[in-house]
Amino acid sequence: MSLTVLSLAKSFVMERLSADQFSDAYMEIWKFERDSNLFQKDEAKLNGCLSSIFCLADLYNPESDREEYELDEKQLRNKISELISDLE
């Protein structure tokens, strides 16, 4: 499980995907794999990282009238990059 969603997050950090492309795809794949109980096969640290990335992707809002707690593309990329760095 973790290889697909982690690779997707790394691709986003490396600017291969826009935040719009990333957030929708990541959340869809994450939900599918969660519902398939594939998370149980991952280490707790990795599982926590991937879940945190899901939460960040959910906070992404491309609109300029976003709430204070919502993230723009740059903020999303930076926060995900930090999570991945902490994992490695």
User: What predicted TM-score, i.e. pTM, was given to this entire model?
Assistant: 0.89
Does 39 have pLDDT greater than 80? no
What confidence score (pLDDT) does residue 86 get?
Answer: 92
Does 51 have pLDDT greater than 60? yes
Would you put residue 37 in left (φ > 0), alpha (ψ -120 to 50) or beta?
left
**Running DSSP on this structure, what letter comes out for residue 54?**
H
Instruction: Tell me how far apart the alpha carbons of residues 25 and 57 are, in angstroms, rounded to a whole number.
Output: 10
Question: What is the third-level CATH fold of 2-87?
Answer: Four Helix Bundle (Hemerythrin (Met), subunit A) (1.20.120)
What confidence score (pLDDT) does residue 88 get?
Answer: 79
Does 80 have pLDDT greater than 70? yes
Give the start-to-end residue ranges of the domains of the chain.
2-87
